[in-house]
Chains A and B, each alone.
Chain A
């Protein structure tokens, strides 16, 4: 009897692992099996940029630094679940990028320290140990070129670590947190300064939202909390799609985001909504 279980157990374990791998890594939903025709269409996946790059694009639109709009580092201890921690790493990464790109060295160092501490809680602490990334980042904070290279290294190590830890579902969650925070910062600065370049950048950045939603959907089954985030981001996308400028864009496939300029005030409801989503994210 013992021997029979001894034979069966590894089979059952292997079968269980096999299922998980297929669903999580291949993202094969079974939906494609129902499609007819000669070619099956499998789901779309996304490859998302780094939070630092999003912040850099806003910087190019002359986004100024305003003190007090980023998220306080002393709130980091409020979060406990893997999902919450991933979201808040994203938020703090965007705040770090905003500070560093605006030469706010002390604040940038504080955010870097916080990102590392929170990262430790979800097994991402090792990222900064690779090639002295933490020290290199701290030492080069005022040199934008060097920081760009170091951030690229951090992103690469983070992606490797997520893969190694089989935490791929966190990739989209971290990026969603960072993206919302960057959009929130841009919206807040716009409300105070009225720089129309920032509105155009916000408009263009909305092109990324579909990709974030697609990435999150691919891993929705791995964490039920992802469903809530998808719902908030989908509502934002729906609101965006209602804008007259976006309708114009959708009606003409030759047009691209850079060909359309939103009218004054057109993006205001969306900026408010971004603030609401950010409030939900930081609430945990």
Chain B
């Protein structure tokens, strides 16, 4: 009986960790179904042809974060960008810039703040493609106990 009790005392923290890790893994699978998110984004690309895509995983912290994607494009081409935020529950702001985060006086070409509230799939067609666009994800600071990881799908199409 004593041995059993000792075993349960030892095993309890392990079980707690196991349950929370499994829960997080399930939550991750539910919130970031990459195939479904990509397929939905691709449907919004039409009539543009698929050029490239990027799934970005967010790991929220107790500090605001900035994550940037560099998007090479070809001069004079017509592009459409699609962002699928269906798996994002927090207030992540997307912005598209003409220069990278290190450059002073860069111009914001579009921001998700200009979309209708509640929009989950954002579409932006930039004018005058030059060589690169920079997509920034502004992640809020998170201190609650909700799942710390989510993802967004970015897709680029060309005509």
Contacts and interface: CB of A to CB of B under 8 A. Distances in A.
B156 interface: yes
Contacts, number: 132
A165 interface: no
Interface of B: 7, 10-11, 14-15, 17-18, 21-22, 24-25, 34-35, 38, 42, 49-59, 61, 63-75, 99-101, 103, 105, 130-132, 138, 149, 154, 156, 158
B68 A44 contact: yes
Nearest to B99: A253
B53 A156 contact: yes
Contacts of A164: 35
Contact of B70 (A45, A57, A148, A258): A45
A15 B34 CA distance: 22
A257 interface: yes
Nearest to A259: B130
Interface of A: 3-4, 7-8, 10-11, 14-15, 18, 22, 25-26, 28, 32, 38-50, 53, 57, 148-149, 152-153, 155-156, 159-160, 163-164, 204, 207-208, 210-211, 214, 253, 256-258
B65 A39 contact: yes
A258 B129 CA distance: 11
Contacts of B34: 163
16 contacts: A4-B11, A7-B14, A11-B14, A11-B17, A11-B18, A14-B21, A15-B21, A22-B59, A26-B59, A40-B64, A41-B66, A42-B66, A50-B51, A159-B52, A204-B131, A214-B70
A33 to B, nearest CB: 9
Cβ-closest 3 pairs across A and B:
A152-B49, A152-B50, A207-B131
Contacts of A18: 21, 24-25
Contacts of A148: 49
B153 to A, nearest CB: 11
B130 A258 contact: yes
Contacts of B69: 44-47
Contacts of A10: 18
B50 A155 contact: yes
A156 B153 CA distance: 13
B18 A211 contact: no
A156 B50 contact: yes
A46 B71 contact: yes
A256 B72 CA distance: 13
Given A40-B63, A156-B42, A53 B70 contact: no
A70 B96 CA distance: 38
Contact of A208 (B63, B66, B72): B72
A49 B74 contact: yes
B136 to A, nearest CB: 10
Contact of A4 (B7, B42, B52, B64): B7
A8 B7 CA distance: 12
A22 B60 CA distance: 12
Nearest to B103: A253
Contact of B52 (A47, A204, A207, A253): A47
Nearest to A145: B49
Contacts of B72: 46-49, 207-208, 211
Contacts of B63: 38-40
Given A26-B59, A38-B64, A39-B63, A256 B130 contact: yes
B22 A14 contact: yes
B25 A14 contact: yes
Nearest to B138: A39
Contacts of A46: 54, 69-72
